[in-house]
Structure 1
C-alpha cells in the first residue's frame, strides 16, 4: 500500500483528502497540532494520526521519527496546513503576521526539509504543496495571505530543481474559496473608524462568502485532482489550477497584464 502524509488533516480540506485516500486504499498519515482532534477519523480504516505542529522544528522532527518507525516508506507529503489573515497593512498586528508566515510558508519549509532525506534515500517521493488563487494573483486585503502563498510558489519551484536527480517531484495546487471551515477561521483586523476601510472590508467579506457558497462542488473536485496527481506524479515541476475561479484569474492576469487586471479588480471586486 502507498502512504500519504497530510499536514493540517483534522479539518477542512486536509480531512477530506485523508478520507478520500483512505477509501482508495492508501495508508494515510494524518498530522495535526493536537491529537485531541483525532476523533474526526474514528472508525475510518487506514488512517493513523500523529501530533505535528508545522511551526515548531522539534515537533516536526519528533513526528517524523515516530512516523518512520511505523511506516517504512512515504510516497507523498501534502503540505496542507494553512491559516488566513485579512487585514489592512495599517491595521495589521505583528503577532498575526508572524503566525501566518510561520504556518503558511515556514511550515512548508520545515516539513519539506525534514522529509527530503527520506525521499532521497528511497529515491522517490512527491511534495504536493497547497497554494491558492492567492499564489497566482494579487487581490484586495490579501497583503499577508497572498505573500505567504506566493512564497510557497517560489519556494516549491526553486526546490524542485534541487531534487531532480533524486526522483523527487514537486508541485503546487491552486484554487479559490472552498466550502470548508477555512473562511470562518480567517483572522481579520479590528473594525476601523475609517470609512473607506469599512466599505472595502464589507465588500471583500461579502464576495468571499458568495464565492464560498457558489463553489459547493469544488472541494470534491480538488480532492479527486490531488488523488490523480498522487497516482501519477509529474517528473517536472507543475502548477495545477483547479476550478473556475482559479483558472479565470490565471488567464485574466496573463492576457490582460497587471495594469488592465488592476482596473478590472477595482471595478468589479471593489465595486
Structure 2
C-alpha cells in the first residue's frame, strides 16, 4: 500500500483528495494546522491526521519525525496548502503579503526541503506542487497570489533538475476556479476612497464568483488527475493543466504573447 502526504488536508480540495486516495487503497497522511480542523477525516479508513504548519520549520520537523515513526516510506508529497489574497497593490497590507508568501511559496519550499532526504534515502518519491493557472498567466488583482504561484512553478522546475539523479520526480498542477472552501476564504483589500479601485474589485470578484459556480465538474477532474499523476509519476518535470478555463487561458497566452493577451484582458475588464 502506497503512502501519500497531503498538506492543507483539513478542507477543500485537500480533504476531497484525502478521501479519494484513501478510498482507492492509499494510506493518506493528512496534515493540517490544527487537528480540530480535520474532524471530517477522523476515524476514516486509511487516513491518518498530523499537525503540520507549513510556515514553521520546527513544526514541519516535528511532524516529519512523527510521520516517519509511523510509516517506513513516503511515496508522494502533495503541497496543497494555500491561501488567496485579492488586493489592489496600493491598499495591500504587510501582514497579508507576508502570510501569502509564507504559506503559498515558502511553505512549499520548506516541506520539500524537509522530505527530500527521505526520498533520496528511498531512491524514490514524488513531489506534486499545486499551483494554479495563476502560475502561468497574470490577471487583475492577482499581484500577490499570482506571484507566489509563479514562484512555485519556477522553484519546482529548478528543483527537478537537482533531484533527477535520485529517482525523485516533480510535477506541478494548475487549474482555474473551482467550488471549494478556498474561494470562500480569499482575503480582499479594504474598500477605497477611489471608486475606480472599488469598481475593479467588484468586477473581478463577480467574474471569479460566476466562473466558480459554473465549474461544478472541475473538482472531480482535478482529484482524478492528481491520483493518476501520483500513481504514474513522470521521470521528467511536468506541468499538468486541468479544466477548460485553465487550458484555454494557457493556450491563448502562449499563442498570442503577453502584449496582445494584456490588451484583451484590459478590454474585458474596462469595457
Q: TM-score range by the shorter chain?
A: over 0.9
Unaligned runs of 5+ in 2: none
Q: Secondary structure at the match of 1:129?
A: strand
Q: Aligned runs of 1:2-21 on 2, under 5 Å?
A: 2-21=2-21
For residues 181-215 of structure 1, the C-alpha deviation after alignment (integer angstroms, 9 at most, x for no partner) is 11110011101110110110000000000010010
Aligned to 1:150: 150
Alignment of 1:93-108 (within 5 A): 93-108=93-108
Matches of 1:269 and 1:115, distance apart in 2: 42
Give the deviation of 1:270 after TM superposition. 4.1
Tell me how far 1:269 sits from its aligned partner.
Answer: 3.7
SS of residue in 1 equivalent to 2:181: coil
Q: In 2, Cα distance between the equivalents of 1:161 and 1:183?
A: 33
Separation in 2 of the partners of 1:270 and 1:227? 40
- The answer as to whether partners of 1:137 and 1:249 remain within 8 angstroms in 2 is yes
CA distance, structure 2, for counterparts of residue 267 and residue 213 of structure 1: 23
Aligned to 1:228, what secondary structure does the other structure show? helix
Shift of 1:43: 3.6
> 2:9·2:38 contact (CA, 8 Å) conserved in 1?
no
Q: 1:205 maps to which residue?
A: 205
**Residue matched to 1:111:** 111
Write out aligned runs for 1:64-213 (5 A).
Answer: 64-213=64-213
Mapped partners of 1:268, 1:2: distance in 2: 46
Output the TM-score relative to the length of structure 2.
Answer: 0.99
SS of 1:163 mapped into structure 2: helix
More moved, 51-60 vs 258-267: 258-267
Q: Distance in 2 between matches of 1:193 and 1:181?
A: 30
Check whether the contact 2:79–2:108 (CA below 8 A) recurs between aligned residues. yes
Runs of 4+ in structure 1 off by over 6 angstroms are: none
Taking only aligned residues, the RMSD between alpha carbons, in angstroms, comes to: 0.7
User: Aligned with 1:182: secondary structure?
Assistant: helix
Is the 1:203–1:270 contact (alpha carbons within 8 Å) kept by the matching residues of 2?
no
The Cα offsets for residues 20-72 of structure 1, whole Å up to 9 and x where unpaired, read as 00000100000000011221113420000000000000000000000000000
| Structure 2 Cα separation of the partners of residues 179 and 117 of structure 1 | 36
2-structure distance, mates of 1:228, 1:242: 12
Summarize the Cα distance change of 1:263–1:134 in structure 2 as closer, same or farther, 3 Å threshold.
same
User: Compared with structure 1, are the counterparts of its residues 269 and 133 closer, same or farther at alpha carbon in structure 2 (3 Å cutoff)?
Assistant: farther
